Structure 1
Amino acid sequence: MDLDLRLVRYFVAVADELHFGRAAARLHISQPALSKQIRRLEQEVGFRLLVRDSRHVALTTEGVRFLRDGRALIAHASRMTRPDVSGIRVAHIFDLDTCRVVVDAFSSRYPDVQVTASSMDSRRQFDALMSGLLDVAIVRLTPAMTNAHPVGWRRLPLRYEPFWLVGRPGDPAAETASMYERPIEVFSDPVGSAMFNAHGEFVSELEAHAGVAFHWLGNPGTFDQCRVRMLRASDRRYLLEFESYALRYVHDGMPVHRPAELQPVYPWSIVWRDEPSNRAVADFIETALEQADVRGWLRQQSSAPFWPHAAVPTPV
């Protein structure tokens, strides 16, 4: 049997979305045409790949196995046709430094491997990874992401990035500060906004856990834009900020403090497709885990308890 690679790609899209309408839109074909092609593929392989009714789509046991093999087949075909098979495609999230640190270490160790870096938030990175547009992703995984793509990928915890409280220029230095001492603001888009994302979800959950109503400032995008907003502030508040940004405010006379009551940590994971990877992907993962060990990214560095306790990703 000569397997049509185009049909395999169609099936992978449906398996990723678990929804024929979304998969059809992603593939730029009509939903009836996609359904017809999936039935054709099932006829060719001789078994059902999907169970579907008017509301739900699910993989059969054979479908789960076929998805794994299908991803491997597509990846192999991609490597055969991509000119630079030694390259690797990753993405950064604005000016946050986790991925950048790994890319710098990787490029220093493997200068002959081309790294193509884009800018995407966690959700877009994960979708791009599963669509074959990225080779590896460093993201915060959310239930919505894992529900949308239940199979076909692997992950390992990479960093629990602490959040700090950033004071105003001229505030006294102190190792810790209470989350209840002053109003707290966050650079994030709130629930219900068009730009609500994985970071906003995390902040919203923290807000509910701590019992504090944060002041949501929206997401300016870059550190320089955040910095200008902070330098212009005249009120007495704390900014709750990623360590990647927080420690940079010190250069402008703004002290940073660890939260006294609990230590919020943002759980970054390194994620890749569950398929035979090229050497560059394996080396990138190895470099990332080495950086995590050398920099203590997974060790607790505050006397306050980590939050959320359930955020630690289980290696899969």
Structure 2
Amino acid sequence: MDLNLRLVRYFVAVTEEMHFGRAAARLFIAQPSLSAQIRRLEQELGTPLLARNTRKVELTPAGERFLEAARRLLAAAQEAVDAATGHEPLRIASIVDGLDTVPSILRTLARQQPSIEVVHGIAGMIRQIAELRAGKLDLAVGLFGEQDAELRGEIIRLDPVRLVLREDHPLAAQGEIPVSGLGRCRWVFGNVDHTPDWIDFVLAFLAESGVRPRPPFAGQTPLSAMLEQVRERDAVAAWPESCPAPGPGLVVRPLVDPSPVYPWSMVWRRDRMSDRVRAFQAAARATAADLGWLRDQHRG
């Protein structure tokens, strides 16, 4: 039997989302078409792979067995393409434009391995992980709390999170700002659709100190737009050390009790190791050592 790799790829996408609508959106096809393609694959194999009803999608026993083999098949196919086409670029993303973690690593990589071409995009961590699973990225970089049989992550930076506010804000006169004293502040967050993991991280460390600002209904992804909201609304925002200086009229102050730290991880697929991925890993570890990114692992 000659399996259609496109159908196999569709099946793997559905298993990763466990939702036909989300998988169809990720694959840029219509949901009815995706359902039809999965049925076609099941007909070719002579067994159902997915059990579906109006509420959920589940793998059948045959689907569970096929999934592991399907991932190996797609990885082997990609390796064959790479071998035939020669040097492929390293595909990586940053969660937000302007943060210096990924650019710093890429500068080290350029010095260590100048022949490696890099395709560097912008994507929230949830999208990065989805594209990593789908083979569209070689590495994801950002907040990563789960590890499974397919993905592996390694912390490369502990990024102190501070507070950005107007220089005439009453709290700006303090050298350090206790998190518990932020309850009455007006907060600005990033885009709830683009970086929900970052927003959840901020809300979590605030909640630990009894601070519960209203979660954002919408926001601005660019850092410049967040800063404009801080200026216009006399608001505050969480501001990692990896962010650039906020510019005139704004100041950054350390947070204490606790002093939150954002853990950056690099994440890769266990079955998609390559010389490019290993080169990035080496550059990330060297950058972390040179800049002291992991110097204090017990903050807060």
Normalised by the length of structure 1, the TM-score is: 0.76
Q: Deviations over 1:189-239 (max 9, x none)?
A: 58xx65662112222222322211337676433333344444556x5x654
1:104 aligns with 2:107: yes
Q: Is the 8 A contact 1:72 1:275 kept in 2?
A: yes
**How far apart, in 2, do the equivalents of 1:128 and 1:299 lie?**
31
Q: Note the aligned Cα RMSD (angstroms).
A: 3.3
- Partner of 2:166, secondary structure, is coil
Task: Give the direction of change, closer, same or farther, for the CA distance of 1:274–1:186 in structure 2 (3 Å limit).
Answer: farther
Contact 1:187 1:216 in 2 (8 A): no
| 1:286 has 2:287 as partner | no
CA distance in 2, matches of 1:41, 1:297: 51
Whether the 8 Å CA contact 1:20–1:34 is kept in 2: the answer is: no
Q: 1:226 to 1:56 in 2, by over 3 A?
A: closer
Measure the CA separation in 1 of the matches of 2:135 and 2:73: 12
SS in 1 for 2:91: strand
Distance in 2, Cα, partners of 1:53 & 1:216: 34
Structure 2 residue aligned with 1:199: 198
Equivalent residues, number: 287
Q: Does 1:225 align with 2:228?
A: no
Distance 1:299 1:263 in 2: 15
Matching residue of 2:245: 248
**Letter of the aligned partner of 1:126 in structure 2?**
I
Opposite residue 155 of structure 2, the aligned amino acid is P
Partner Cα distance (2:142, 2:236) in 1: 26
Question: Bigger CA drift: 98-107 or 67-76?
Answer: 67-76
CA distance in 2, matches of 1:21, 1:252: 45
Please name the residue that 2:91 is paired with.
89
Alignment pair present for 1:39 and 2:42: yes
Q: CA offset at residue 41 of structure 1?
A: 5.1
Matched AA of 2:15: A
| Cα distance in 1, alignment partners of residues 141 and 150 from structure 2 | 16
Q: Deviations over 1:58-90 (max 9, x none)?
A: 374523531441232232144246x46341111
Which whole-Å deviations, capped at 9, do the CAs of 1:150-189 have from their partners, x for residues lacking one? 6532221222211112353264472x22223454454315
Equivalent of 1:263, from 259, 264, 269?
Answer: 259
Q: Which residue of 1 aligns with 2:58?
A: 57
Q: In 2, Cα distance between the equivalents of 1:88 and 1:6? A: 23
Amino acid at match of 1:106: L
- Is contact 1:184-1:239 (8 Å) kept? no
TM-superposed deviation, 1:130:
1.6
Unaligned runs of 5+ in 2: none
Q: Would the aligned equivalents of 1:160 and 1:298 in 2 still touch at CA under 8 Å?
A: yes
The aligned residue for residue 125 of structure 1 is: 128
Structure 1 gap ranges (5+): 306-316
Secondary structure of 2:271's aligned partner = coil
Cα contact 1:24–1:34 (8 A) shared by 2:
no
CA distance in 1, matches of 2:120, 2:23: 26
* Whole-Å separation in 1 of the counterparts to 2:86 and 2:263: 32
Superposition map of 1:172-211 within 5 A: 172=173, 174=175, 176-182=176-182, 183-189=184-190, 197-211=196-210
Distance (Å, rounded) in 1 between the aligned partners of 2:24 and 2:227: 43
CA distance in 2, matches of 1:282, 1:121: 23
Partner of 1:28: 29
TM-score by length of 2: 0.79
Residue 269 of structure 2 corresponds to residue 273 of structure 1: yes
CA distance in 1, matches of 2:127, 2:252: 31
| Partners of 1:154 and 1:244 in 2: CA distance | 23
Aligned to 1:311: none
CA distance in 1, matches of 2:210, 2:86: 51
Residue aligning to 1:134: 137
* Inter-partner Cα distance in structure 2 for 1:242 and 1:222: 14
Q: 1:5 to 1:67 in 2, by over 3 A?
A: closer
Question: Match for residue 77 of structure 2?
Answer: 74
Is the CA contact 1:90–1:135 (under 8 Å) kept in the aligned structure 2?
yes
